[in-house]
Amino acid sequence: METTRVTPRFTLGAMRIVTEARTLVESMNATTASTVSKKVDFVVVGEDPGSKFDKAKELGIKTLTEEEFKKMVS
């Protein structure tokens, strides 16, 4: 079975949120990545996403808002 790679990218200023997102993704047998590459299926972005959002757009990778990510994993 192929796994889905998700890059949690939150700009909430709380590291706990990113850690919880990683734990949740990994509990679903998916993996996380610290960088955006063609191997990433989704990039989760906050209000001011920065260069990871730009890279995702450049590579044609689907981006999700934090709310979309929460709905996707619930």
DSSP 72: H
What is d(CA 1, CA 16) in angstroms, rounded to the nearest whole number?
Answer: 30
Q: What does the pLDDT read at residue 12?
A: 39
For the chain, list the strands marked E by DSSP. Answer: 5-7, 31-32, 42-45, 62-65
Which pLDDT does position 38 carry in this prediction? Answer: 87
Q: What is the pLDDT of residue 59?
A: 94
| Helix, strand or coil, per DSSP, at residue 42 | strand
Each residue of 11-63: pLDDT tens digit? Answer: 434 456 678 888 888 888 888 888 888 888 888 888 777 888 899 899 999 88
**Into which CATH architecture does domain 5-73 fall?**
3-Layer(aba) Sandwich (3.40)
pLDDT at 73 over 50: yes
CA-based nearest residue to 60, from 26, 37, 34, 32: 37
